[in-house]
Amino acid sequence: MVRPPGRGLSTRPSRLRRGPLRAGAFTSTLRSPRLTSQLGLALTVAFGVCLGTGLLSHAIQHPPAWFWWPARPVWLYRVTQGLHVATGLAAIPLLAAKLWSVYPRLFAWPPLRDLRHAVERASILVLVAAALFQLVTGLLNIARWYALMPFGFRAAHHWIAWVAVGALLLHIAAKLPLVRDVLPRKGRAGGGEPAPDEAPPGGLSRRGLLAAVGATAGAVTLATVGQTVAPLRAVSVLAPRRPDLGPQGLPVNASAAASGVVAAATDPAYQLMVEGPRGVVRLSLADLAALPQRVVSLPITCVEGWSADAVWTGVRVRDLVALVGADGRDVAVRVESLQRTGAYRASVLAPPHVRDGETLLALRLRGEPLHLDHGYPCRLIAPNRPGVLQTKWVAAVRVIAP
């Protein structure tokens, strides 16, 4: 691309003509505004999907007053959060390729032409930093290297998402004229291929490079998506979780020991407390087992992108609240764990979930009493709900709103 001549320092001082700073330091003919635009388009789609699904996951966990999340279809959150993590992971090779396609610009001369150029470069710096931050923190989170993030992952990942998307929109606005020039749509006058895409002798063509980047993104997806798409389990060699490994054939997030609940959960005097408009009822494990039992097949869908189907047996939450005088058709219920600390020691069931006949306080998993790590003596399991809200080692169920 031909640059307009800069004012002032229009030629580079001779000290700054070495290494990557010398003229002609970058020789690849593959770099072009068209390649960069195509990669940018793919990244925009991936970041858009990530932002939408990420904000949705946040709203489900911290619903604002206007927000309403249904209990059906059972698999919806599995799809949205699966997409979040899959598009985020696929964005890693896309971002790498895009940075490769533009990084020689770092060494362009003059570094700043005018105020507009300075603002544009600053916004790109913010964009690159925020995009890298999102992909790296997301990856560390699903790999459970929490120790490498000595800050609140969720708050940081949430707010930097807005920074990334804001900077992305600015960047797109600044580059749109160029993109429209080099990405002509079919059928437009003068459309089609602006330049031949032939490979230099013995080299790679732009199309070949795009195909390689696409294949890498596809390989990353295949190598990880089996953590939620069961038929692809066998090829998912890089998936952080195998959804069939763990006690009773199910992964564990936060064991009983790590959560400090072993003594309370195995106490023979355990009783579940149920509180509602007509007061309090306390139920032993035998009392719970004597109530009508339901069998449901529902997935655990961790926010970290893995999910696994299982068969659960237990008591409907709406039957439990009926014991204390609540009509399960339109109440909200708070489910509290024996666990004393930690962000996931309680969760709220909104009316659509309390009403649903598959929302259970489960006593059994795959026909056996729950394993201690899966929430013994009893745990919540409800359809279309993030794993973090499927409270284990339940101590109390309280009706909190009429």
Ligand X SMILES: Nc1nc2c(c(=O)[nH]1)N[C@H]1C(S)=C(S)[C@@H](COP(=O)(O)O)O[C@H]1N2
What residue ranges bind ligand HEM (CB under 6 A)?
47, 50-51, 54-55, 57-58, 61, 84-85, 88-89, 134-135, 138-139, 141-142, 154, 157-158, 161, 164-165, 303-304
Q: Among 387, 395, 397, 399, which residue sits at the site for ligand X (rule: CB under 6 A)? A: 387
Residue 258 CB, nearest distance to Mo ion (Å)? 13
Whether 313 contacts 151, CB under 8 Å? no
Range 240-299, binding Mo ion (CB under 5 A): 253
Residue type, 365: L
374's tokens: 């899966």
Range 297-326, binding Mo ion (CB under 5 A): 302
**Binding of ligand X at residue 61 (CB under 6 A)?**
no
Taking contact as CB under 6 A, which single stretch among the options 82-90, 220-228, 353-361, 388-396 is the one that binds ligand X?
Answer: 388-396
What is the spatial distance between Cα 77 and Cα 384, in angstroms, rounded to a whole number?
Answer: 5
**Residue in the structure block whose two tokens are 């635009």:** 37
**Binding of ligand X at residue 157 (CB under 6 A)?**
no
Residue 283 CB, nearest distance to ligand X (Å)? 19
Q: Which does 352 bind (CB under 5 to 8 A by kind): ligand X, Mo ion, ligand HEM, none?
A: none
Residue type, 387: G
Whether 74 contacts 384, CB under 8 Å? yes
Helices (H) and strands (E) in the chain, counts: 9, 10
- What count of other Cβ atoms lies within 10 Å of the Cβ of residue 84? 22
Q: Which does 37 bind (CB under 5 to 8 A by kind): ligand HEM, ligand X, Mo ion, none?
A: none
**Binding of ligand X at residue 98 (CB under 6 A)?**
no
CB nearer to ligand HEM: give 139 or 219: 139
Is the backbone of residue 246 left (phi > 0), alpha (psi -120 to 50) or beta? Answer: left
Q: Among 250, 288, 321, 354, which residue sits at the site for ligand X (rule: CB under 6 A)? A: 250
Q: Exposed/middle/buried for 318, CB within 10 Å: 0-12, 13-18, 19+?
A: buried
Q: Exposed/middle/buried for 223, CB within 10 Å: 0-12, 13-18, 19+?
A: middle
Residue 159 CB, nearest distance to ligand X (Å)? 21
36's tokens: 């960069």
Whether 276 contacts 321, CB under 8 Å? yes
CB nearer to Mo ion: give 168 or 388: 388
Helix (H) or strand (E) holding 102: helix 76-102
Residue 55 CB, nearest distance to ligand HEM (Å)? 5
Is the preceding omega at residue 73 within 30 degrees of 0, hence cis?
yes
CB nearer to ligand X: give 176 or 245: 245
149's tokens: 């993030």
Whether 338 contacts 265, CB under 8 Å? yes
- Go through the chain and tell me how many residues it has: 402
**Binding of ligand X at residue 298 (CB under 6 A)?**
no
Q: Which does 142 bind (CB under 5 to 8 A by kind): ligand HEM, ligand X, Mo ion, none?
A: ligand HEM
What is the spatial distance between Cα 329 and Cα 318, in angstroms, rounded to a whole number?
Answer: 8
CB nearer to Mo ion: give 61 or 236: 61
CB nearer to ligand X: give 57 or 101: 57
What is the spatial distance between Cα 89 and Cα 220, in angstroms, rounded to a whole number?
Answer: 7
CB nearer to ligand HEM: give 58 or 355: 58
Residue 10 CB, nearest distance to ligand HEM (Å)? 39
CB nearer to ligand HEM: give 220 or 360: 220
Q: Among 300, 324, 326, 333, which residue sits at the site for ligand X (rule: CB under 6 A)? A: 300
**Binding of ligand X at residue 227 (CB under 6 A)?**
no
Residue 306 CB, nearest distance to ligand X (Å)? 8
Sign, CA dihedral 144-257-343-318, equals positive
Q: Among 113, 387, 394, 395, which residue sits at the site for Mo ion (rule: CB under 5 A)? A: 387
The answer for residues whose C-beta is within 8 angstroms of residue 349's C-beta and 6 or more apart is: 317, 332, 333, 334, 335, 359, 380, 382
314, β-bridge pairs: 294, 362
Taking contact as CB under 6 A, which single stretch among the options 93-101, 186-194, 283-291, 384-392 is the one that binds ligand X?
Answer: 384-392
How many angstroms separate the first and last alpha carbons of the chain? 66
Total of chain residues touching ligand X, rule CB under 6 A: 21
- The residue ranges that bind Mo ion (CB under 5 A) are 253, 302, 387-388
- The residue ranges that bind ligand X (CB under 6 A) are 250-254, 259, 300, 302, 337, 339, 342, 344-345, 374-375, 387-388, 390-393
